[in-house]
A and B are shown apart, each in its own frame.
Chain A
Amino acid sequence: MPFVTPATLDKTYDVIVVGSGAAGGQSAYTLSMEGAKVLMLEAGRKYIPETETPMFRTPEQGPLRGASTPDKRFGFYDATVDGGWEVPGEPYVQTTHEAAGRFDWWRARMLGGRTNHWGRISLRNGPYDFKARTRDGLGFDWPLSYGDLAPYYDKVELLVGIYGSNDGLENTPNSAPGCLLPPPKPIVSDLLIAQRARRVGVPVIAGHRAVLTRQLDFKTSPARLHPGNPTAQKIIATDMQRRAACIWATPCGRGCSIRANYQSTTVHLPPALASGNLDIVTDAMAHEITLGKHGLASGVSFIDKTTGKQCHAAARVVVLAASSCESVRILLNSKTARFPNGVANSSGKVGRYLMDTVGSSLEGQIPLLENLPPLNEDGASESHVYAPWWLYREQLAGKLGFARGYHIEFGGGRRMPDLGTLAGIEWLTGGSYGKKFKDDARRYYGTFVSFDGRGEMIANKDSYCEIDPQVQDKFGIPVLRFHWKWSEHETRQAAHMQQTFKEIIEAMGGRVKGEVQSDGAKAIRAGGSIIHEVGGAIMGKKAATSVTNHWGQTWDVKNVFLADGAVFPSNADKNPTLTIMALAWRAADHILDLLRRKDL
């Protein structure tokens, strides 16, 4: 029954899942594999990675050598379809044009959403990250602990395929035995960074990314994923064998036609469709949850973009997984007599406590890396290693001037040359041209290392979104208006990142490119830049101060769940996708329980 149209929908479903990315994919996978009848609504078009991915394409085969343009913000070959910080016909409103008050919202209107192009860095939140307020009095605790989520992290890692190592470092949890795939070997610059960073106190360990460094364990994992369900075990065992291991070439951000990395479209949806329990409608722009008898949700209204017609689908349960802000938008646009401010918003907290990740970068040139022999350093495209946050003790003692941590992602290596590879190197060459420039290019190629800090932002009352009273998108749906403010915890952290990067570059015997920014307000990237949008409908212990309970179930309407990042009460430095998937799996298990008990 896979891809259907609004005209061929079933009369009703067990569950409607709105969105098809990490949260929607995981929700639909868990629910349909365990027997629930699921309808997925995706606002973008159908997307087929097997045939659409530009594997092995080189820059000169694309327009402008693959450069970034407003049509393709991450470059021509990026997997994103109909997306970016601006989507034609689908505006949103900023309350200021000052960089410090901006939130730029990245969307991807395609099956699989942002999982087709993401960085695939997959870090677990640690025990502290769930109880941060208890530790330092700021922000919010989660209404669940690391122990509650750990079994679901294990399951997601087993299903999706995450490489990494268990290093036993503080607040950087180990996975259960057999969960992680072996990490790829470090490249030369990784090893040099590891050696020199340690001299300035920064630990460097194997990265964790959703890339198959070998085939998944299709013999033992299925029983761990779906105990007591031989049908599901058989489906996933078959599908695991259809995913190839990494071939160590062609950037992950383009997507992967051999299914060697995680995309919802290559990992979650194929087995979910094979279960026979999942219907998908693409080009379905969901905008409202409808309520029926007893104050329960009856289904979802959407616009069929192929005809422009208003449609409705019915189900016993609605799971919003449309991305944090889009899920918030749907709740706020679902107004009824009982919920004049939007469904599930009796607390007034829908849209509140929006967060992104703190980002700051620095680049350096490393003479030790000059004149290396030719090496193929494509590897798994990025992040063979990273540095987890290391200053927990100093921070808790109040020595840093900011409350939460960051990790460091490293770039380097003899990557496929592109437009930018040898641009702006006058600071090294003194403006050479001619044969001297060609020699300089050979000398400096592959000698650059980059440092990207990714840090925790603490939820604050000034960072939120709401419905703009005037502006509508091309479908006539009211749009979001964003408010944004960093606190000093974030800006000081960004300044600290700059200082750390400088120290590492210098410990490597290198030279910093450009300026080391000591003013954190200038060092920090604008809100939304890192594309880790979370919060907006946070989970908590009380209905008065949060939108959902620890299952992602809204306090007000018990058959409406949020499965995406909207429920995050805090945004640890760990990239959110793995946690989104673990939470979605846990929520889906609870929904299955309730459905079996006829409690919904």
Chain B
Amino acid sequence: MDRRTTIKWMLAASASMPLLGRRVTAVAPSSALPQTQGYGTDPDLTKIYNPGDLWPLLLTPAQRRTAAVLCDLIIPADSVSPSASSVGVVDFLAEWVSAPYPRQQTDRPIILDGLAWIDAEGTRRFGKDFAALNDTQQHSICDDIAFEQTVQPAFAQAARFFARYRDLTAGGYYSSPAGRKDLQYIGNVALESFEGPPLELLQKLGLSPDQMQRG
């Protein structure tokens, strides 16, 4: 995040919140993206690709650390499934913000500036980077930016970042094997026949298997 943006966000935040820390820093690499090539209009569709295979992953270790903590605040481990960062979501986010396509290049400054902001906000409120805060402190920041519709005006931009970050985290997570398992998706397997929903379920829903209109 460039200094001007940082200051703009900080000023907006301080208008409604007392400034807790004096240290106002935001050091991140430029959000501009070097020119790299996409995969073109005729890529090999049968090959398996990993993040980093097609273009370099442009996140610093510090950005990755903040990204991982934020991912896991959005999708933590529970009794059913693991956390987002443990199934490769940070690599996916790095792939996403480093990609040479317009949608991703639009997201890059939103994500990188957002990560810088949340670190700065941690420092402002509690004197530490976001990743170094305790659970309660992290939640107190996230709670302020989690819902765009009810957010205080001072956090509007941070809330837009959080919404996008949550979408990407959820997208990365639920499109992974762990996410599919969590949602109990059981398709993508060859079947001899397609039997449709079980009768007991339909009865419970008040439906009949022969619901179609006949002429």
Seen from chain A, the residues whose Cβ lies within 8 Å of a Cβ on chain B are 45, 51-54, 56-67, 69-72, 76-77, 81-84, 87-88, 165, 167-169, 184-188, 190-192, 194-195, 198, 203-206, 246-250, 254, 368, 372-380, 385, 414-424, 426, 430-435, 437-438, 441-442, 445-446
Contacts and interface: CB of A to CB of B under 8 A. Distances in A.
Given A59-B175, A71-B40, A419-B171, A185 B207 contact: no
B15 interface: no
Interface of B: 38-43, 45-46, 48-49, 53-54, 73-76, 78, 80-81, 88, 92, 95-96, 99, 101-104, 139, 142, 146-150, 163, 166-168, 170-172, 174-177, 179-180, 182-191, 193-197, 201-202, 205-209, 211-215
A136 B150 CA distance: 52
Nearest to A69: B101
B41 A63 contact: no
B105 to A, nearest CB: 11
Contacts of A426: 147-149, 163
Given A60-B88, A69-B101, A203-B213, A435 B175 contact: no
Contact of A204 (B168, B197, B212): B212
Contacts, number: 238
A71 B142 CA distance: 36
Given A52-B46, A58-B188, A77-B45, A70 B175 contact: no
B167 A165 contact: no
A187 B196 contact: yes
Contact of A192 (B92, B194, B205): B205
Contacts of B191: 247-249, 376
A377 B175 CA distance: 17
A70 B183 CA distance: 30
Q: Which of B150, B179, B201 is the most central at the interface, judged by chain A CB atoms within 10 Å of its CB? A: B179
Contacts of A194: 211-213
B197 A65 contact: no
A378 to B, nearest CB: 4
Given A414-B185, A423-B167, A188 B202 contact: yes
A445 B183 contact: yes
A373 B204 CA distance: 12
Contact of A81 (B41, B48, B195): B41
B74 A376 contact: no
Contacts of A165: 212
Judged by DSSP, the binding face of A is loop
A65 B147 contact: no
Contacts of B102: 70
Contacts of B205: 188, 191-192, 368
B80 A60 contact: no
Closest 8 CB pairs of A and B: A431-B147, A185-B196, A168-B215, A419-B171, A378-B187, A59-B175, A374-B184, A247-B190
Contacts of B206: 195
B174 A421 contact: yes
A431 B96 CA distance: 23
A184 B186 contact: no
A61 B49 contact: yes
A540 to B, nearest CB: 33
A398 B142 CA distance: 56
A434 B74 contact: yes
B174 A441 contact: yes
A438 B88 contact: no
Given A61-B49, A191-B209, 13 more contacts: A51-B46, A53-B45, A66-B175, A69-B39, A71-B39, A169-B213, A194-B213, A372-B201, A375-B201, A416-B188, A433-B73, A434-B74, A445-B185
Contacts of B185: 374, 414-417, 445
A77 B45 CA distance: 6
Contacts of B174: 417-418, 421-422, 441, 445
Given A88-B41, A424-B167, A438-B80, A380 B212 contact: no
Contact of B171 (A65, A81, A82, A206): A65
A148 B106 CA distance: 54
A501 B50 CA distance: 40
Given A188-B207, A433-B73, A65 B172 contact: yes
Contact of A437 (B75, B92, B149, B207): B75
Nearest to A169: B215
B142 A417 contact: no
B81 A438 contact: yes
Q: Which of B48, B54, B139 is the most central at the interface, judged by chain A CB atoms within 10 Å of its CB? A: B48
Given A77-B45, A185-B195, A188-B197, A71 B38 contact: yes
Contacts of B78: 435, 438
Contact of B179 (A167, A414, A417, A431): A417
B42 A69 contact: no
Q: Which of B46, B78, B197, B207 is the most central at the interface, judged by chain A CB atoms within 10 Å of its CB? A: B197
A53 B44 CA distance: 9
